[in-house]
Amino acid sequence: MYLPLNDRIFKVIAELAKIHNIEVYVVGGYVRDLLLEKKSKDIDILVVGDGIYFAEQVARVLDAKHFTIFKTYGTAQIKYRNYEIEFVGARKESYRFESRNPSIEQGTFEDDINRRDFTINAMAISLNSDNLGEVIDIHGGINDLKKKIIRTTGNSDIIFSDDPLRMLRAIRFASQLNFTIDEQTFEGIKKNAYRIEIITKERIVDELNKILLSTLPSYGFILLDESGLLSLILPEISKLKGVEKNEGKTHKDNFYHTLQVVDQLRSRTDKLWLLWAGLLHDVGKFQTKKFQPGVGWTFHGHEVVGAHLVERIFKRMKMPTQETMPYVKKLVMLHLRPISLVKEEVTDSAVRRLIFEAGDDLDDLLMLAEADITSKNEQKVRLYLKNFKLLREKIIDIEEKDKIRNFQPPVSGEEIMQWFNLSPCKTVGDLKNKIKDAILDGIIPNERKAAIEYLLKIAEELNLVADENKINWEK
Ligand code: CTP
């Protein structure tokens, strides 16, 4: 695929490069993706000279409404149509050991290409009149694209030590593109893995997210594990690895099981936080593993410990804790519930409770639980999947009948206090809970009149008398 030189963006840039007699190139991910025949909306423009000045000229001619200068980085960005066009002046970088932020000085085209991480990211397309549209490939990126290899542009030890984020980028690109990592490059990652500590958690999570969203996330996570990075970033996941044997009994390797679950989920969804729930669903197994003589290996309560660990991991990794963390925590906490229903004879009240507890996240929970089936016994898998289908049908049935999802108590605590002349106390909560339980257990329907009648009955047993004049039976 060739650069669309007829496109107004490239036409204007090439014309201005000629007028101002400045060397200008398209570089980085846009060129890589173009050669992979993928459309990218991010265009990086390398200017040999003052990148910000040149960007100003381009913004003016394009009449771009969104133009931003990032003084600290010496870059400028134009948003035009659906594109984000980033301009940077050619530079040489030198790094200090304790920081990934380089000190920057002006450089030549070659200096700039040589500071880039991987051969497939270090190709350029000229926007200069003497070789317009020519691909300049100093490091053999085209060949590596053909061979599907991630390789550093130079000494991998220096490239990773300079900017340790690149170790995660290597693995992320391998996972996204289904490429292998060149042997020496991978050695460089192993050697410098410990340097990941200078990278901010937000950037690490950003790369993990991209790995989770690649077609086969397990590939990326296996590379993370083999490189030594996983035990530094997510030790809780790394500890799931391994199989123990006692009295001739083994348990499954929970690391590989987890990865299989994530892959199965990924084939059905692109919901990032559901994939995180898949990654963390068994995280509590490391701490709860026990061998019980005569019984075998158990992981009792791993969902509770796991839910607790979710909170810790989200905080440590500076991941969004507002709505996202409770969502992932809830799925981890409840992940065994659907499968236990599938194994047993399903009662309506158990299904009602599941609908009540999962609320709006019920469909995601079911998807997670279904992906959690990784048994090698095909007959067992078939049976579970069949029962899952029955469970889903039963859920639809009960939902239609009982409206339990996003359950709102038919009688409020305020009302109970008013009717029985009570001040806030434990009894009010107990009465409310008893009504809720009666609905979930199918003793009464999810209706106000039935709930009030039931309330009056259980209150009488506690010698509580209501002022019936205050009760409004319909709301
Ligand atoms: N780059 C680098 N080292 C980094 C980050 C970026 O050498 N740690 C260089 C690479 O040449 C890369 C270019 O800067 O291609 C642009 O970086 P970025 O936009 O972050 O990545 P892309 O390669 O465009 O890929 P993606 O958008 O998928 O992250």
pLDDT for 121: 98
CA of 166 to the centre of ligand 1 (A): 9
Residue with tokens 């309330």: 455
CA-nearest residue for atom 26, ligand 1, is 29
Q: How far is CA 72 from CA 26, 162, 166, 385, 422, in A?
A: 22, 19, 21, 55, 63
Question: Which atom, in ligand 1's list, is nearest to the CA of 172?
Answer: 28
28 Rama sector, left if φ>0, alpha if ψ -120 to 50, beta otherwise = left
Instruction: From the CA of 30, give the closest atom in ligand 1.
Output: 24
Distance from Cα 118 to the centre of ligand 1, integer Å: 9
Ligand 1 atom at shortest distance from the alpha carbon of 29: 24
Q: How far is the CA of 28 from the centre of ligand 1 (A)?
A: 6
Q: Which of 135-144, 237-246, 443-452, 462-471 has the highest mean pLDDT?
A: 135-144
Which residue has a Cα nearest atom 23 of ligand 1? 29
Where in the chain is CATH 3.30.460.10?
Answer: 8-147
User: Ligand 1 site: residues with CB under 6 angstroms?
Assistant: 28-29, 42, 44, 116-117, 121-122, 163, 165-166, 169
Ranges of H-type helices in 403-447: 413-420, 426-440
Whole-model pTM: value is 0.91
* Packing angle of the helix pair 348-358, 378-402 (nearest 10 deg): 80
- As given in the structure block, the two tokens for residue 228 are 């030594």
Nearest to 368 by CA among 244, 228, 262: 262
Average pLDDT over residues 127-143: 97
- CA-to-CA separations, 369 to 58, 85, 379, in angstroms, rounded: 52, 43, 18
Closest ligand 1 atom to the C-alpha of 28?
Answer: 15
pLDDT, one tens digit per residue, over 47-58 is: 999 999 999 999
Position 106 pLDDT exceeds 70:
yes
pLDDT over threshold 90, residue 294: no
* Whole-number pLDDT of residue 263: 98
Angle in degrees, CA 42, 180, 220, rounded to 5: 75
Q: Does the pLDDT at position 131 exceed 70?
A: yes
The residue whose CB lies within 8 Å of the most ligand 1 atoms, and thus the one to mutate among 117, 192, 213, is 117
Residue nearest to atom 24 of ligand 1 (CA): 29
- Residue with the nearest Cα to atom 27 of ligand 1? 29
Residue with CA nearest ligand 1 atom 13: 28
| pLDDT value at residue 244 | 82
* 8-147 CATH: 3.30.460.10
Residue 112: per-residue pLDDT: 95
- Measure the CA–CA gap between 451 and 473, rounded to whole angstroms: 10
If one residue of 44, 159, 202 were mutated to test the ligand 1 pocket, choosing by the most ligand atoms within 8 A of its CB, it would be 44
- The atom of ligand 1 lying closest to the CA of 122 is 11
CATH architecture of structural domain 148-233: Orthogonal Bundle (1.10)
> Quick check: 274 pLDDT over 70?
yes
What is the per-residue pLDDT for 1? 62
235 pLDDT higher than 80: yes
Instruction: Outline which parts of the chain fall under CATH 1.10.110.30.
Output: 148-233
